[in-house]
Structures are given as structure tokens and as C-alpha cells.
Homo-oligomer: A and B are copies of this chain.
Amino acid sequence: MDFKNNQSIYLQITHYFHQGILKEEWKANDKIPSVRALAVDFEVNPNTVMRSYTKLQEQGVIYNKRGLGNFISEGAKQVVAKQMREDFLQSDLPEFFQTMSVLGIEVKDLEVYYSQWKGEKEV
């Protein structure tokens, strides 16, 4: 795990779990790594991991069993998908279109870029 420098680590960890849940690498009631274990794994302070887990709990994405660890919630995938979709439609998309229109890029141009991107990804 390597972190970008322009976003806080704890948010990147949160995002990491969001992605994992959407890709169904984590399923409902799976146990996620303990705070300490992940801290060692990601070479990060336990407090930082803790902060992510707290956020995920507040979002209802994971739940805690006392003394046992943290587990993926039942409706986690739906919750994450819904929130991500909202963020995308309400803030990312308008900003994106705004930039596009200012730069004179048309929607139809996107298809070309998209297939390029898809190609690179497979490599």
C-alpha cells in the first residue's frame, strides 16, 4: 500500500475498504484485519488506522464485536454504492462537465479517451 501525498492517509484507508467492498473482495460479516495488524501491514500508526475504522463504523459499513474485532456490515455494499453514486452525480460530474465545456471537449470525444484508458489498465 502506497499513499498519495495530497489526501490524508486515514481517508485513503477508508477508500481502500470502500473499493474492496464494491469489488466484493470483502463480503458481509467478513472479519477485517485488526487495527494493529493493518497498521503494521501498511506501515502506519495504529491511531491512523483506528481513525479509518471509526469513520467506517459511523458510515455503517463495518461493525464491532467487543474484543473480537471489526466486521463488514450486512448492507455495506449498498451503503457504499449509494454514497459514492451521490457524490459522483452531485459534485464530481458537474465539475467535470464544467471543465470539459471550458476546454472545448465534447462528450463524444470521451469514448476515445475511455477506450485508451481501458487499454492502459489491462496492461
- Seen from chain A, the residues whose Cβ lies within 8 Å of a Cβ on chain B are 5, 8-9, 19, 22-23, 45, 58, 63-67, 81, 84-85, 88-89, 92-94, 96-97, 99-100, 102-103, 105, 107, 110-111, 113-114, 117-118
Check B107–A94 contact: CB distance below 8 A: no
If A9-B66, A88-B103, A103-B88 touch, whether A94 touches B81 (CB-CB below 8 Å) is no
Contacts of A67 on B, CB cut-off 8 Å? 45
The complex is assembled from copies of this chain, and their number is 4
CB < 8 Å neighbour of A96 from B81, B89, B92, B111 = B92
Check A113–B93 contact: CB distance below 8 A: yes
Contacts of A63 on B, CB cut-off 8 Å? 5
Check B97–A114 contact: CB distance below 8 A: yes
Closest 8 CB pairs of A and B: A22-B102, A97-B117, A107-B114, A107-B111, A107-B110, A85-B103, A88-B99, A96-B96
